[in-house]
Structure 1
Amino acid sequence: MTYKTILAACDGTDLGNEAVIHAARLAAAIGASVSVIAVSPPPPTFAASEIGWSIPASVYDEIHTANAAKAKRIFAEAARISGVAFKDSIHIENSGPAEAIIDVAGQIGADLIVMGSHGYRGISKLVLGSQAAKVLSHSGVPVLIVK
């Protein structure tokens, strides 16, 4: 299988950044192009009284917008160093990450998705879920997980 269009998912974490860098290096090695996606999930829907504090929606949006910009900068630097063809940077707001990644992969004709896995275990996995596992389960294209 030859990959021509790679979608690299980045969530602003160190591991997400590594996935983007890995995608750029892979693309350079095989002559593919890469698009990077950052997804900002909707704000939590719990009542502030349940936990004793809340994050204003504007702060939540600023954090996710900053993470998307960081992902774009990281990819641009990785693309510059590796010489890979850079297609675009996509920021999807108020969506479940796995669903958005799969939808965008279909829209751009990606034939490979590259993303990080945080390796949550136990209760963290139950509470936070695994976006990588969801993408693996539901994607119609191959998924490369960076750990």
Structure 2
Amino acid sequence: MYKRILVATDGSPLSDKAVASGLSLAALCGASIVALKVVPRYPRSYFEGSAPLNRDEVKQVEQRWSESALKELNTVKQQGSDQGVSVKCVVAKSELIAESIIATATKNNCDLIVMASHGRKGIKRVLLGSETQHVLTHSEIPVLVLR
């Protein structure tokens, strides 16, 4: 059925449930997993809300964010190993989360995207956005949304 499944995580408890479901589905299908965490780039100007840091300090901050993301993804990799599922870890650096999810799924020839939805409605959805909704409406790859 599925051969390669992208599982997007943000480290939240809800996202952890989606990861567990994605791993279980992959184990049932004999599929491999591409585990993705998108980390932002550090803001570069006052208009973007950043504090004045020099270039080396910015690199250190971004490196810490990437290392933290890789640590989370290695936990997913270990969970996959426990279930006999091969997991490839990918850290993407971008402010465009939904686009990064779709691009990574396309690049890795994934045939399913699994992600969580926080189910925000009303003003919260307007203010906080919906990356899941964006992926659903723009992806040509099927998307499994878990709540």
Query: Is the shorter-chain TM-score for this pair beyond 0.5, marking a shared fold?
Result: yes
1:82 aligned onto 2:75:
no
What is the CA–CA distance in structure 2 between the aligned matches of 1:55 and 1:121, rounded to whole Å?
Answer: 35
Aligned positions, number: 143
Distance 1:121 1:33, change over 3 A: same
CA contact (8 A) 2:38 2:93 kept: yes
Secondary structure of 1:95's match?
A: coil
Q: 1:59 to 1:6 in 2, by over 3 A?
A: same
Q: Judge conservation of contact 2:5–2:110 (CA < 8 Å) in 1.
A: yes
* C-alpha distance in structure 1 between counterparts of 2:10 and 2:136, whole Å: 17
**Aligned-residue offset at 1:12:** 1.4
Give the whole-Å Cα distance in 2 for the aligned partners of 1:126 and 1:110. 30
Residue aligning to 2:139: 139
Cα distance in 2 for residues equivalent to 1:146 and 1:67:
24
**Which contiguous aligned blocks of 4+ residues in structure 1 show a shift greater than 6 angstroms?**
none
Structure 1's unaligned 5+ residue stretches are none
Q: State how 1:63-142 maps to structure 2 within 5 Å.
A: 64-86=65-87, 88-142=88-142
Are the equivalent residues in 2 in contact too, given 1:5–1:111 (CA < 8 A)? yes
The Cα of 1:5 is off from its aligned counterpart by 0.6
Taking structure 2 as the reference length, what is the TM-score of the superposition?
0.82
Query: Structure 1 pair 78/91, CA: closer, same or farther in 2 (3 Å)?
Result: same
RMSD: 2.5
Judging changes above 3 Å, is the alpha-carbon distance between structure 1 residues 74 and 142 closer, same or farther for their aligned structure 2 residues? same
Instruction: Describe the SS at the equivalent of 1:91.
Output: strand
Specify every segment of 5 or more residues in structure 2 that has no aligned partner in the other structure, as ranges.
none
SS at match of 1:12: coil
TM-score (norm 1): 0.82
- Deviation larger for 99-108 or 121-130: 121-130
Summarize the Cα distance change of 1:130–1:35 in structure 2 as closer, same or farther, 3 Å threshold: same
Cα distance between partner residues in 1 of 2:126 and 2:34: 30
1:4 aligned partner, one-letter code: K
